[in-house]
Amino acid sequence: MSQHLLLLLVILAISPIPGDSQDSALSPTPEEPEDLDCGRPEPSARIVGGSDAQPGSWPWQVSLQQSGGHICGGSLVAPSWVLSAAHCFVKNGTLEPATEWSVLLGVRSQDGLLDGAHVRAVAAILVPDNYSSVELGADLALLRLASPAQLGPAVRPVCLPRASHRFAHGAACWATGWGDIQEAEHLPLPWVLQEVELRLLGEDACQCLYSRPGPFNLTFQLLPGMLCAGYPGGRRDTCQGDSGGPLVCEEGGRWFQAGITSFGFGCGRRNRPGVFTAVAPYEAWIREQVIGSEPGPAFPTQSWEPQSGPWEPRDENCTIALPECGKAPRPETWPWEAQVMVPGSRPCHGALVSESWVLAPASCFLDPINSDGPPRDRDNWRVLLPSRPRAELVARLVLHENASWDDASDLALLQLRAPVNLSTAPRPVCLPHPEHYFLPRSRCRLALWGRGEPAPGPNSRLEAELLSGWWCHCLYGRQGASVPPPGDAPHALCPAYQEEEEAGRCWNYSHRSLLCQEEGTWFLAGISDLSSGCLRPRVFHPLQTHGPWISHVTGGAYLEDQLNWDWGPEGEETETRTCPPHTEHGACGLRPEPAVMGVLWPWLAEVHVAGDRVCTGILVAPGWVLAATHCVLRPGSTTVPYVEVYLGRAGDSPLPQGHQVTSAPPLLCLTKRRSWVLTGMALPGSRELFAAIGPEEAWISQTVGEAHFLPPSGYPHWPPEGSDLCPPDMASAPGSPQAAVFLLLLTPLMQG
Ligand code: ARG
């Protein structure tokens, strides 16, 4: 396949192109190639983090279009030649036909053509033979126009550097384009050309940044012929749609094209500067392609002696930028915590996400009576931030478009009238990119969110630990649903936390935010889903999916790459996982991965009999617990004593003094699909002999109605014989002792 490609490229590069003679007949008076004036915009005068370019300031910038839509940038290097990136034209190893492309010249904004703007058809696309993919370099292309461009104030060529040309490290250069202004955010109408100042990074500095490991293999080897420009801290960069466009540096009153926008990891991310094709090393290749074309591109001599220049790469240090968000100056300080004070209602808790923006639930500001709009007295709103002498004024409120009907989008952004200086406090919290994967067992906190009431107890930020994504997804998801693998935004996050001792009280209607820590940096990972009520674990809506909206509105929120990605064999599992059988109430038999906090065996119940005996019961449906008869009834007695059942705390709270523990352990077996099945109940006085539950199926299902039994066909999932789990026929083995079990109908004692 790739050999075919190479052949094709060679043919394109050497074959005479039809219409050649016609082109030269149309071209203006021939000049010596070196006489072509280049790199001088008319005197007068995104890209991520850029700004609108002035008309005519980058007269060599062109837009390369396919069926009338902008695809890539390019630069005019001679009346009939445009320089761009190979990857714009090579799809699946095949060069696209030149006839599909057109070149728009002399435009600043793409919605209306200004003076001097015109279109040219493309006669040929030339790509180096050794181009295969962007990471392997040689990402450049030359386009020969079907007829020469009309040079004028809005259309002029840029100068090209000779092979010996050296650009100073640290030089301030400019990239231009109509590409995305953030990851996944297109340049809005009227598509005004964006410009951004980028610093040239030396090879070592750039390699050092890209050698730092990260999630999803974002390291790569910088190759000769590539150059980097940007900042270790990110935030200013080129992005999708800028490819092929120029990176230009001014020297001696002329603009030289140092690079061609090629690729990057994300856009504007910390320690991931943009990678460009260096133009100078391709002097010979460019000259070869344009032979015979007059005037050809201009390669003016460099105005200063490169040998003595400040470009020597020797002791360039490796400057790695640290995250600016999510750092607490001391443990238990939360410098992003914001309280929005709206006259007449309780304070609303939110989080500072940038210098000027606070994220909070939209429900704080939606007027339940007049749902058409938020309250209007915004002048009287105040925002309290840590370590600020005075409250901040609010300039703007932006509600999420789905805020009023979708719980997961109950979000609003408030803009402060004046940005705060970021110091140790206030300081914004980090936000996750859509592909962020919070590892199971991450250390998290549940903080106040919205009009939440402080939790009982001394600590209003409950400690929590993230449970496995698989478990959370299946518990709240659908039977047979496939579980999003790391790298896909999750549907739900489940933190396990220790409930405050005031048992029975669940902060039912109180909102919480989920903050998770990675390498000492805090991320706002999710917001609580109120619909899960008092069910444990509570489910949180992940914030991942909202990253693009938040960056769109704020233009500068701190989305940070994942800092901890050692997900071990679990995350590398390629096989798609599906969820086990569900009852009407969710998955049964699902057990979280071992967690320090929370319940290891979520169906275990403490059955307290007559106030002094404790044995183990099993939750088989939301209202029913199964317990061994000998645990509930005293020998010889037939009256049922007073029984209390405690759920969701098995094993994690000490039993009251003086209680006699009657052991009646259940036997649970793990199916292949990783759900647990109750197989037996211990016989009286024994820890090793169990009575099978199988024969009781009819009685249990008649009584309970909603208990979930694995169909007999579910049993092929039993582990193979000889494994140390249950034998395949245990559950219904004939002649096994009969189980004596009790079903306890639950009635709530304490309400939340
Ligand atoms: N490959 C992109 C394009 O086709 C350019 C990406 C540049 N990315 C960056 N982070 N600098 O438009």
DSSP SS3 for 731:
helix
What number does the ligand 1 atom closest to the CA of 275 have?
Answer: 11
Q: Which of 262-271, 473-482, 484-493 has the lowest mean pLDDT?
A: 473-482
For the chain, how far is it from start to end, CA to CA, in angstroms?
66
Q: Whose CA is nearest to atom 1 of ligand 1?
A: 263
Q: Stretch 296-315: mean pLDDT, rounded? A: 68
At residue 111, does pLDDT exceed 70? no
Q: Whose CA is nearest to atom 11 of ligand 1?
A: 274
Distance, CA of 467 to CA of 594 (rounded, Å): 9
Q: How many angstroms separate the alpha carbon of residue 128 from the centre of ligand 1?
A: 20
CA of 87 to the centre of ligand 1 (A): 10
- Non-local (6+) Cβ contacts of 313 within 8 A are 169, 202, 203, 204
Residue-wise burial string across 96-110, b where 16 or more C-beta atoms lie within 10 A, e elsewhere: eebeebbbbbbbbbb
Ligand 1 centre distance from Cα of residue 237 (Å):
9
> Which residue has 């181009």 as its token pair?
131
User: Which of the pair, 52 or 717, is modelled with greater confidence?
Assistant: 52
Least confident of 605-609, 613-617, 723-727: 723-727
Where does the pLDDT of residue 21 fall: very low under 50, low under 70, confident under 90, or very high at 90 and above? very low
* Residues identified as active-site: 87, 139, 243
Helices (H), 45-197: none
Ligand 1 centroid distance, CA of 301 (Å): 30
Atom index in ligand 1 nearest the CA of residue 72 equals: 12
Average pLDDT over the chain reads 80
Top-confidence residue, 690 or 484: 484
Residue 12: pLDDT over 60: no
> Is residue 595 scored above 70 in pLDDT?
no
Please tell me the distance from the alpha carbon of residue 618 to that of residue 742, in angstroms, as a whole number. Answer: 10
pLDDT one-digit tens code per residue, 333-368: 899 999 999 988 889 999 999 999 999 999 998 866
Q: Whose CA is nearest to atom 9 of ligand 1?
A: 264
- Residue 477 φ/ψ region, left for φ over 0, alpha for ψ in the -120 to 50 degree band, beta for the rest: beta
237 in contact with ligand 1, CB cutoff 6 A: yes
pLDDT at 560: 93
Binned at pLDDT 50, 70 and 90, residue 54 comes out as confident
Among 26-35, 77-86, 599-608, 687-696, name the one with the lowest average pLDDT: 26-35
- Judged against a pLDDT cut of 70, whether residue 262 lies above it is answered with yes
pLDDT for residue 750 is more than 50: no
Q: What pLDDT score was predicted for residue 215?
A: 75
* pLDDT value for 594: 57
732 lines ligand 1 (CB under 6 A): no
In the chain, % of residues over pLDDT 70: 73
How many Cβ atoms are within 10 Å of 261's Cβ, its own excluded? 32
pLDDT tier, 568 (very low <50, low <70, confident <90, very high otherwise) = low
Region 608-630: mean pLDDT is 80
Lowest mean pLDDT among 24-28, 158-162, 492-496: 24-28
Confidence band of 752 (pLDDT split at 50, 70, 90):
very low
> Residue 691: which H helix or E strand, with range?
strand 690-692
CA separation, residue 508 to residues 57, 522, 530, 536, 598 (Å): 59, 25, 7, 11, 18
pLDDT of 267 higher than 80: yes
Of 22-36, 62-76, 129-143, 415-429, give the lowest mean pLDDT range.
22-36
Distance separating alpha carbons of residues 443 and 135, to the nearest angstrom: 36
Residue 88 alpha carbon, nearest atom of ligand 1: 4
Ligand 1 centroid – CA 613 distance (Å): 68
Q: CB of 90 closer than 6 A to ligand 1? A: no
pLDDT digits (tens, 9 = 90+) for 238-252: 999 999 999 999 998
* Residue scoring higher pLDDT (199 or 41): 199
Residue type, 235: R
HSE-up of 375 (CA within 13 Å, CB side)?
Answer: 19
**For position 641, what pLDDT does the model report?**
80
Is a pLDDT exceeding 80 seen at residue 452?
Answer: no
For the Cβ of 71 lying below 6 angstroms from any atom of ligand 1, the answer is: no
Q: Is the pLDDT of residue 501 over 60?
A: no
Q: What share of the chain is helix, strand, coil (3-state, %, to 5)?
A: 15, 30, 55
b vs e for 171-206, b when ≥16 Cβ sit within 10 Å of the residue's Cβ?
bebbbbbbbbbbbebbbeeebbbbbbebbbbbbbbb
pLDDT in tens, 581-591: 666 666 676 66
pLDDT top residue among 310 and 710: 710
pLDDT (average), residues 536-554: 89
Q: Which has more pLDDT, 476 or 160? A: 160
Residue 357 pairs with which residues in a beta bridge?
415
The per-residue pLDDT for range 390-414, each reduced to its tens digit, is 999 999 999 999 988 888 999 999 9
| Residue of the CA atom closest to atom 2 of ligand 1 | 240
Residue 721, both tokens: 């014989």
Residue 561 in this model has a pLDDT that exceeds 70: yes
Please report which confidence band the pLDDT of residue 222 belongs to, taking 50, 70 and 90 as the band edges: very high
For residues 170-189, average pLDDT: 94
Query: Which pLDDT value is given to residue 683?
Result: 72
Cα(263) to centroid(ligand 1), Å? 4
Cβ of 179 less than 6 Å from ligand 1: yes
* Mean local confidence (pLDDT), 110-119: 76
What's the 499 CA to ligand 1 centre distance in angstroms?
47
Rounded Cα–Cα distance for residues 238 and 266 (Å): 10
Q: For residue 702, give the 3-state DSSP assignment.
A: helix
With the most atoms of ligand 1 within 8 angstroms of its CB, the residue from 131, 135, 238 to mutate is 238
Quick one: pLDDT band at residue 676, thresholds 50, 70, 90? confident
Q: Are 392 and 415 in contact (CB under 8 A)?
A: no
Q: Ligand 1 pocket, 234 CB below 6 A? A: no
Sketch out the chain's domains with CATH numbers.
Answer: 5-11+41-289 (2.40.10.10), 325-598 (2.40.10.10), 604-712+730-745 (no CATH)
Ligand 1 atom closest to the CA of 267, numbered from 1: 10
pLDDT for the residue numbered 98: 97
The CA-atom distances, in angstroms, between 35 and each of 144, 156, 299 are 20, 13, 10
360 SS3 class: strand
- 3-state per-residue secondary structure call for 175-241: EEECCCCECCECCCCCCECEEEEEEEECHHHHHHHHHCCCCCCCCCCCCCCEEEECCCCCCCECCCC
Q: What is the mean pLDDT of residues 85-114?
A: 90
Rounded distance between C-alpha atoms, residue 448 and residue 26, angstroms: 71
Atom of ligand 1 nearest to the CA of 243: 12
For 14-30, give the DSSP string.
Answer: HSPPTTHHHHHHHS-S-
CA of 261 relative to ligand 1 center, distance in Å? 6
Q: Is the CB of 242 under 6 A from ligand 1?
A: yes
Distance CA 652, CA 658 (A): 18
What is the per-residue DSSP string for 371-390?
A: TTS--S-GGG-EEE-TT-SS
Atom of ligand 1 nearest to the CA of 134: 1
Question: In the prediction, which pLDDT does 91 show?
Answer: 93
Cβ of 482: how many Cβ atoms within 10 Å?
13
Residue from 47, 134, 183, 239 to probe ligand 1 pocket by mutation (most atoms less than 8 Å from CB): 239
* Residue 535 pLDDT grade (very low, low, confident, very high; cuts 50, 70, 90): low
CA of 138 to the centre of ligand 1 (A): 15
Residue 311, pLDDT > 70, answer: no
- Confidence at 741, pLDDT banded by 50, 70, 90: low
| CA 507 / ligand 1 centre spacing (Å) | 46
Neighbour count for residue 372 (Cβ, 10 Å)? 8
List the structure tokens of 215: 């999630």
Please count the CA atoms within 13 angstroms of the CA of 566 that sit on its side-chain side.
4
Q: What confidence category does residue 1 fall into, taking pLDDT thresholds of 50, 70 and 90?
A: very low
pLDDT tier at 647 (50, 70, 90 boundaries)?
confident
Rounded distance, CA 175 to CA 257, Å?
A: 10
pTM of the model: 0.79
SS3 state at 101? strand
Which residue, judged by its Cα, is nearest atom 4 of ligand 1? 243
User: Is any ligand 1 atom within 6 A of the Cβ of residue 529?
Assistant: no
Per-residue pLDDT at 721: 36
Q: Report pLDDT for 324.
A: 92
d(CA 104, CA 597): 61
Which one of 240, 270, 561 would you pick to mutate in the ligand 1 pocket, going by the greatest count of ligand atoms within 8 A of its CB?
240
Highest mean pLDDT: which range of 235-239, 301-305, 442-446: 235-239
* φ, ψ at 446 (rounded to 5°): -105, 115
Candidate from 372-376, 477-481, 614-618 with smallest mean pLDDT: 372-376
263 lines ligand 1 (CB under 6 A): yes
Residue 163's pLDDT is 96
